[in-house]
Amino acid sequence: MIEKADQIFVLLGHWLVSFLPLWLQAPALVLLGVVCIIVTFPALFAITVLLERKGLGRMQNRYGPNRVGPYGIFQPVADGIKSLTKEDIVPFSADAVVHFLAPVFLVVVVFMGYAVLPIGRNMTLVNMDAGILFFFAIGASTELSVFMAGWSSRNKYSLLGAMRAVAQMISYEVPLLMSSLVVVMMTGSLSPNRIVDAQNQYTFGLPHWYIFTPWGFAGFILFAVAGMAETNRSPFDLPEGESELVAGYFTEYSGFKFALFFLGEYVGMMGISGLGATLFLGGYSAPLQVLGFVPSWLWFIAKIMFAMCAFIWVRGTLPRLRQDQLMNFAWKFVLPLTLLNLFDAALWRFMGPGLLRWVVCSALLLLAYTAMARIGMRRERFGPRSYRYAE
């Protein structure tokens, strides 16, 4: 029974496909999986948007939307209808083709990342050996779509936003990769399924998630920071910084194209969260052995939604960074720590089991963190500003 609930979608898919001729079965199964992903994650996106608006409201001591339906639960529907019926404006001097392609490309690319994520047991769409590599390759091409949007709009705010986005995303791509490399190193595989399997074991009912090791914890924090920056999420939302750049790279977008950007952004966030869950939080595995009866896909979605709530919480708390702070943080703090974390993981591996490696590895990371914070992130003190008139 538990097994059935866990595998319900797999079994359902196989049953549906069994009506088709044999040569059609494999492609049909994949197509079915694609449809499921394309339906599920936008639905989660709608829930997230509602959660975000309500949650941010509560954090600012407001009610949030509460007019459409009971407690405003139909607000995403109203938003959707609004963006569908709005006029779709293409600026006169914009490059119409690229302007149209940018949001489409973003959404396509973002959904492609889900192909390698193990959403549940036996529920990976494409069981790729180099799945993590594929995810990062695909994830990096969102930059292209952002720059397409900014460039084709022929608007200085769009272009500035796009340049910021590209600078930021390329800078944080490196720590993102580096922080997930620890997991690949320790598992010895780039396959997301193998990584989840390695974490899906229990001692005394507690899981072997990588986050419960010093290097895994540090890696998770660094991954979260880099992922937040990678998805242009507050406090790293400089590319759309509405206080200085109208709306950044999608200033010139309206109507459904804007909605596509919005969708792409959130689905991308969920993708990064899913990858983070796969790498550090044991993917679809239950947090306690006794909770193993809950279907695995439910755990995965719960972890994604948990990450989204964390995103919202951080957004409600932190102000936006300045461009120089952003770059300093990436290159002077996050990147050195990820490199050190690689060394730490190696140390952990070669010190063998025991309490000693816990102490040494934690101490090393903690020490490095404090020292880096002291030295690298030192606040520069400027004297009083003086002006000199030109002769």
Q: Please name every residue paired with 202 in a beta bridge, in sequence order, or none if there are none.
A: 207
CB 333 to other proteins: min, Å? 8
- Report, in Å, the least distance between residue 352 CB and other proteins: 31
The CB-of-66 to other proteins minimum distance in angstroms stands at 8
Nearer to other proteins, 59 or 68 (CB): 59
Q: How far is the CB of 313 from other proteins (least distance, A)?
A: 6
Please give the C-alpha separations between residue 18 and each of 22, 23, 27, 141, in angstroms, as whole numbers.
8, 11, 12, 36
Amino acid at site 202? Y
Instruction: Give the position of tokens 């009971």.
Output: 70
* Cβ 326 to other proteins shortest distance, Å: 15
Report cis status (omega within 30 of 0) of the bond before 384.
no
Question: Closer to other proteins at the Cβ: 306 or 313?
Answer: 313
Nearest CB to other proteins, comparing residues 318 and 359: 318
Question: Which residues of this chain interact with other proteins, rule CB under 8 A?
Answer: 55, 58-63, 313-314, 316-318, 369-370, 372-373, 377
Report how far residue 51's alpha carbon sits from residue 161's, in angstroms, rounded to the nearest whole number: 27
Element (H, E) at 293: none
Which of 20/373 has CB closer to other proteins? 373
Determine how many CB atoms are found less than 10 A away from the CB of residue 65: 20
Helix (H) or strand (E) holding 206: strand 206-207
The least CB distance from residue 369 to other proteins, in Å, is 7
Structure tokens at 244: 């200085």
Closer residue to other proteins (CB): 316 or 336: 316
Q: How far is CA 92 from CA 95, 147, 235, 252, in A?
A: 9, 19, 33, 11
Residue with Cβ nearer other proteins (115 or 238): 238
